[in-house]
Amino acid sequence: MAAKGTLYFPPGFLWGCATAAHQVEGHNVNDWWRWEQTPGRIFQDQRSGAACDWWAGRYAEDFDRAAEMHNNAQRISIEWSRVEPEPGKWDQDALDHYREMIIGLRERGMKPMVTLHHFTNPLWVGDHDGWLWDEVPERFEQFTRKVITALGDVCDLWCTLNEPNVYATNGYIFGTWTPGLKSVKKAARALYNQLRGHTRAYHAIKELQPQSQVGLAIHLVGNKPLPPKWINQAATRFMSHFFNRSFLDAFTTGRLRLTGGGRYRFPKAKGALDWIGMQYYQEFRSGFTLRSPGTLFVAQSKPTDMPVGPHTWGGLNPTATFDMLMWLWRSLGKPIYITESGVPDPDDTIRPGYLAESLKAAWRATTLSIPLKGFFHWSLVDNFEWAEGYDPRYSFGLYQVNFQTQSRTARLSARFYGEVCAQNGLSAETVERFAPDVLEKVFPGEAGKAQVTLKARATGTYSRVP
Ligand code: BGC
């Protein structure tokens, strides 16, 4: 007998997928493109090249796929280098192209969420080491004003920055992304400039389009101490503060405080957010090590008590999505979108269970009246995964892409996600068919019973930093 019961999401919940311009468009000429030209930086020295061929028009067929999955929203990003290839020189054709894409989403019944900065910069910004350049916030505001003036009539849900914490860490501490620097102080400056850029963009958008909803997407990592706990607890707190907390704190305190990087006062940031985007993928263990002076003697490693992702990818703990949501809600008190959630999994063996458990965790948060407003799966199609290039181990798509032929093949998870979106909920029957291995976890003992109407109460135990 088929399992019964459905975990319904609130009416009007947004269901979609997320993509980023440089990862799907193809043939962008920006600071990442320049970074790709030097051997040794990208997996097998690959280059983004044609990516998923979206700029040449293939976005349309992928939007069809999203619509077939009953997505009612879609998160895409605008490539700054296309719109402003040289300082102050605007490319109207590029803006028209984005307009077509956004209208294409709306015509297919999907609400656009548009990100204004997803890691990449025009070359002329890259020339100044990206967001280390103190002029970037003002330039970014000008770019934002141009985009909102051109597209504000077809989009009102804006995400200013994608993962300022990842951008700062990879580009300025680890040096594995452009501009390839290794300095905690510089990372702090780049983070501060992103805070200034976001705040300027936020106020500019609200001025031009008062009814819009403006937020940003932050990356949260799960973080626990390596044994012995008493030594490594401080390292864990440091990591959590630096990575998860410091940037967000600025929206409530007006201050950015980064141990080892500096302190900045920026009162204008207070309250400059309508919503926050959460991107949670993985969990690490933290500890002190004398071998890592560049990261202030703190290092992260893979957990040994849970499944882990490929290469440097951390532990896969989808149920912690709930803890992250609770923490974010308690920290900021703003409506939340899960702007990315996904797992690297070419064979689609892990994804269905991971998706089911993540959705259960997200649903639990909604039962506590957390204003969770949407879920965007990363990603719609396999794409260019930054330093991992087209390494097949880093395949995140609901649709597999053959980058030689540009053909797409639906993974099983695409059908699974499509059913969830169509039902505005996760049913036991769907989980039983697509992710039977987690059925008992997601519907414990309840599989086969009537509608689940669990109304959990906030317990007050989730105020700790994840
Ligand atoms: C980024 C994406 C990336 C994904 C998977 C997120 O941190 O926003 O651009 O592809 O993670 O690594």
Its sign, for the CA torsion 101, 102, 106, 111, is positive
Is there an atom of ligand 1 within 6 Å of 388 CB?
no
Question: Does the structure show a pLDDT above 70 at 144?
Answer: yes
Question: Does the structure show a pLDDT above 80 at 55?
Answer: yes
> What is the DSSP-derived secondary structure letter of residue 9?
P
Average pLDDT for 360-381: 98
In this prediction, residue 458 carries a pLDDT of 34
Lowest mean pLDDT among 92-101, 105-114, 208-217, 456-465: 456-465
Question: Does the structure show a pLDDT above 80 at 457?
Answer: no
In this prediction, residue 155 carries a pLDDT of 99
Average pLDDT for 219-225: 96
**Which residue's C-alpha comes closest to atom 3 of ligand 1?**
385
Distance 445 CA to ligand 1 centre (A): 35
> Could you tell me what percent of the chain has a pLDDT over 90?
88
In this prediction, residue 277 carries a pLDDT of 99
Which tens digit of pLDDT belongs to each residue from 394-451? Answer: 999 999 999 999 999 999 999 999 999 999 999 999 999 999 999 999 999 854 453 4
Distance CA 364, CA 405 (A): 41
* Ligand 1 atom nearest residue 217's Cα: 8
Which tens digit of pLDDT belongs to each residue from 259-277? Answer: 888 999 999 999 999 999 9
**Which residue's C-alpha comes closest to atom 9 of ligand 1?**
20
In this prediction, residue 295 carries a pLDDT of 78
In this prediction, residue 37 carries a pLDDT of 98
Is there an atom of ligand 1 within 6 Å of 378 CB?
yes
Distance 171 CA to ligand 1 centre (A): 14
Is there an atom of ligand 1 within 6 Å of 159 CB?
no
Contact between 462 and 326 under an 8 Å Cβ cutoff? The reply is yes
| Domains of the chain and CATH, by start | 6-458 (3.20.20.80)
Q: Which two tokens stand for residue 68?
A: 């077939």
In this prediction, residue 299 carries a pLDDT of 84
In this prediction, residue 164 carries a pLDDT of 98
Q: How confident is the model at residue 117 (pLDDT cuts 50, 70, 90)?
A: very high
Question: Does the structure show a pLDDT above 80 at 198?
Answer: yes
Mean of per-residue pLDDT scores for the chain: 94
Is there an atom of ligand 1 within 6 Å of 340 CB?
yes
Average pLDDT for 56-66: 99
Which of 219, 279, 378 for a ligand 1 pocket mutation test, highest count of atoms within 8 Å of Cβ?
378
Question: Does the structure show a pLDDT above 50 at 101?
Answer: yes
In this prediction, residue 297 carries a pLDDT of 85
Distance 41 CA to ligand 1 centre (A): 17
Contact between 383 and 52 under an 8 Å Cβ cutoff? The reply is yes
Distance 385 CA to ligand 1 centre (A): 7
* Ligand 1 atom nearest residue 386's Cα: 10
Distance CA 105, CA 98 (A): 11
In this prediction, residue 456 carries a pLDDT of 35
Q: Which two tokens stand for residue 290?
A: 């004398």
- Tell me which residue of 247, 229, 143, 235 sits closest to 188, measured CA to CA: 247
Is there an atom of ligand 1 within 6 Å of 162 CB?
yes
In this prediction, residue 462 carries a pLDDT of 34
Distance 166 CA to ligand 1 centre (A): 9
Is there an atom of ligand 1 within 6 Å of 161 CB?
no
Which tens digit of pLDDT belongs to each residue from 174-191? Answer: 999 999 999 999 999 999
Q: What are the residues whose beta carbons fall under 8 Å from the beta carbon of 252, sequence distance 6 or more?
A: 270, 331, 332
State the DSSP H helix or E strand holding residue 419, giving kind and residue range, or none if neither: helix 412-423
Distance 280 CA to ligand 1 centre (A): 10
Residue appearing with tokens 């920006």: 30
pLDDT higher for 461 or 446? 446
How many CB atoms sit inside 10 A of residue 175's CB?
14
Is there an atom of ligand 1 within 6 Å of 166 CB?
yes
Distance CA 428, CA 86 (A): 53
Contact between 351 and 395 under an 8 Å Cβ cutoff? The reply is no
In this prediction, residue 446 carries a pLDDT of 57
**Which residue's C-alpha comes closest to atom 12 of ligand 1?**
385
pTM for this model (two decimals): 0.95
Average pLDDT for 158-163: 99
Question: Does the structure show a pLDDT above 70 at 461?
Answer: no
Average pLDDT for 244-249: 97
Q: Which two tokens stand for residue 232?
A: 């490594």
Which of 316, 385, 394 for a ligand 1 pocket mutation test, highest count of atoms within 8 Å of Cβ?
385
Distance 159 CA to ligand 1 centre (A): 15
**Which residue's C-alpha comes closest to atom 5 of ligand 1?**
385
In this prediction, residue 455 carries a pLDDT of 35
Distance 386 CA to ligand 1 centre (A): 8
Average pLDDT for 249-254: 98
